[in-house]
Amino acid sequence: MVEHTIRAFDTDLHELAGKITEMGRLDAEQIGDAIEALIKRDAGLAKRVIAKDNWVDDLQREIEEKAIATIARRQPMAVDLREIVGALRISNDLERVGDLAENIAKRVLLLAEERRVDEVVLQLRHMVDLVRDQLTGVLQSYERRDATAALDIWRKDQEIDALNSGLFRELLTFMMEDPRSITFCTHMLFCAKNIERIGDHVTNLAETIYYIVEGRQVTAERPKADVTSRKTLPMVS
């Protein structure tokens, strides 16, 4: 009976991990497709990104239901309970990543006729490439239960913050120099902030993975380099 219970519990954990992997894969697709839609002004692709967010939401609900049922049936202790609690935390962050990718796609639908600044879009693409790499890496660290790799990614969040801050200053300059770019650049500010927030959720994932493996929270202060939240938009005439 004990061996059967252990096997059943392992099956539950494997199923949770599989759903998390699928959520992460969908998120990475959404992020990549959202920036491609922005670059190409592809409204059809943007709408597909928006529609796909429902898949991510459904997976989160399935993970929550599976986790609650597993706790009720198996009554796990210690590391086993951390696995389930960690899965819940990870699914919440991945759901938010999907929402942020959807937000970028929605901006595409508002920009069809707006004058664009190509160098800004390319910088956003660079931010997206970086955050996708970090998302992929942190999910791999989850699959391997590698706390060291998770912490390495945790320390890289400031790279995305620094890019966001630099782009923020550049967008303000564009708006002051050419009022025709104000609408486009304002949307790009929100897109950049969405990408920066995705980076924050990747950092959350890294902290959760460290907690699952080590049984304690990351106590060091998060490395941050984002100053945009302390700035305000200037008046542009």
> Residue 178 phi/psi, 5° resolution?
-145, 95
Predicted TM-score (pTM) of this structure: 0.88
Residue with tokens 């942020």: 100
Residues in the chain: 237
pLDDT at 74: 77
pLDDT at 232: 46
Residue with tokens 């902030």: 193
pLDDT at 237: 31
CATH top class, domain 2-230 = mainly alpha
Query: For residues 225 and 161, is the Cβ–Cβ distance under 8 A?
Result: yes
Residue 17: closest CA among 57, 52, 53, 67: 67
In the chain, domain spans: 2-230
Rounded Cα distance, 70 and 134, in Å = 30
Rounded Cα distance, 224 and 214, in Å = 23
Rounded Cα distance, 106 and 110, in Å = 7
pLDDT at 226: 57
pLDDT at 77: 79
Rounded Cα distance, 180 and 175, in Å = 8
pLDDT at 234: 40
> Between vectors from CA 80 to CA 76 and to CA 85, what angle results, nearest 5°?
90
Rounded Cα distance, 149 and 209, in Å = 10
Residue with tokens 């389930």: 84
Each of the 237 residues of the chain gets a pLDDT tens digit; together they read 444 456 777 888 999 999 999 999 999 999 999 999 999 989 999 999 999 999 999 999 999 999 999 998 878 777 788 999 999 999 999 999 999 999 999 999 988 777 777 788 889 999 999 999 999 999 999 999 999 999 999 999 899 999 999 999 999 999 999 888 898 999 999 999 999 999 999 999 999 999 999 999 888 777 665 555 544 444 333
> Between vectors from CA 14 to CA 146 and to CA 94, what angle results, nearest 5°?
65
Neighbours of 88 (CB within 10 A): 17
